[in-house]
Structure 1
Amino acid sequence: MVFLFRDKSIANIFFLSVLSIVVHLHFFSSVPVVITDQHDGLISMVLTSYIAGQSQTVLFVLYHIVVLLQALRLNMVLNDQRMFHQYTYMVAMCYVLLSAILPQWCSISSALVSNSLLIWIFTKLCKLYNNPSPKTLLFNTGLIVGATILCYYPTAVLVLAVLFALTVVRPFRLAEWLILLMGTLLPFYFLFSWLFLSDRLAGYGNFLPRIRVGLPISHWDTDLVVSLAYLALLFLTGFYYWQVSMGRMGIQIRKNWGVMVVMLLIVLPVPFVFKNAGITASIMSLVPLATFSSNAFSGPKRLLFPNFLFWLAIGVIIYHNWHLV
């Protein structure tokens, strides 16, 4: 199966659609649920108002559309930035495949939707290196980050990711950091202005992230351990092949990979830091995880080991849904 996605062919979009349906066959028994929380942000409000009450068919189609569009967008961005030696659909395949590894990721949530904004922010950060007008780009990037936080509060960690990425990509200039922070704070300025003018400033706390350090689950079960073990195996394998190919990369490409490393380290603790985030919020890590893990499928010259990893993932998915069998 892996060889299908090693080519630059428009037919791979069809294969990705088939793969998405196959790994989520359990949706024919139980459609994806809509997970919302009134303290999640604006995305949660939209999901509660317009999506939660939709029919099962609409939820089924909507989940696949969101995952496929994010997978294709991430794949296109990484290939346009030449972060891989040849144009393939491996990242998109890995994104779709991993979306079914954890049962908590098989739902329509604010975290899933926010991945689209996460990919957008990464695209902006990749353009910072040798940009002729970095201040404009930095302000726009900060504006997107601020709007993203209002859309889904646990994405507040992206402020740290962007600041670290700025350190990786560009030499330190205080003016650029201030411009980035100004862009990030601008959406909150407009929000607090609206609250003040409408005499609702006392409720500003409802629009801020709620921090509570702790475990996102009350107990560990076998399903979660199996999924995390596979994700660790796939990531470490992909990381190894990424290290092997680092010597053939240019400076800008290395910096882009550095940004992705920083993003991974920043988003991984989200379920442990934010109140009511839970394992569902960990789907934010799917963007960097799929990026690095795709090296495990595209790195080896022979397909034996990549095919083993692919069918091992299918085995994990079947294990989670064995009750359907």
Structure 2
Amino acid sequence: MARFKVPSVPSSEITPESVYLRRRQFIKAAGLLAAPALGTFSASLSAAVTTGGKPLEYRPAEQGRPAFSTDEDRAPFDDVASYCNFYEFGTGKGDPARYAHEMSVDPWSIDVEGEVARPGKLYLEDLYKRYPLEERVYRLRCVEAWSMVVPWVGFPLAALLDDFEPTSKARYVAFETLHRPAEMRGTRSFTSTIDWPYREGLRIDEAMHPLTIMAVGMYGKTLPNQNGAPVRLVVPWKYGFKSIKSVVRIRLSEQQPQTSWQMTNPREYGFYSNVNPQVDHPRWSQQYERRLPSTLLQPNRIKTRMFNGYEEQVADLYAGMDLRKYY
């Protein structure tokens, strides 16, 4: 399949970074930035926010494939790059943008192992050679009740898994994030309750679903470090923490893998972690979300949709399951 050059996106769809940075500086000076459901939205403009590296060649989002795109307003790049969860660099929303530049992402490789006929290693350059890239404009809903719409650039996870030939015993797919304490200051914290490296997992049918992608870029450029460079998972119908960043290992298994938040706090975080507004988090409601960008004058508070709006595409994966029990 031929690759396409990066499309020229109209400014009406994505605000230019420089313009939006000036706007954010004005708003911050005026003290008008809103507080999301938890804490104050204080993305630091002095943080080391990067644009990612080189532009990517990819197929633009197709209007005829609504599941893979949305006409909802895309979040400005600065919001996505400066308001992040990446606990390897700290628990504050601005910490990843401040410190993730300390992580080296070249060279990079992913080990694929477990219940596969052809275990092996994929290098970053292999990903670009093997898998044609395409844009997917997905909603991202975080468990803390904030959300955004992001134009990811990536390829279906199913294409990668197929190359390693899963065996008949492969029922689950486990993922691990890079663990390099010298470059990831959050993993050196004595107060951290996470058993590093960070781990996540999916059922094999979830992993093979067409919506599930491995992203190598966003907004037409390679991923910034704070957003999971150089390659991350994106599962749009689940809460954001399921979309594990900076992946270095994929393991297929017969048994359900342990995941980091499930190990850390099983009362609050289950294995499935599907977006379900009918099931409240033990400490807050999931019925509403604050779509970024959001200000005090324009809070942009919207109702949360089942499976983050992807119910038509994924509900059949959970037919007959009690989604309150399997949260």
User: Could you say which structure has the higher strand fraction?
Assistant: 2
Ranked by relative contact order (alpha carbons within 8 Å, sequence separation 6 or more), the top structure is 1
TM-score normalised by L of structure 2:
0.29
User: Could you say which structure has the higher helix fraction?
Assistant: 1
Instruction: Find the structure with the greater CA-based Rg.
Output: 1
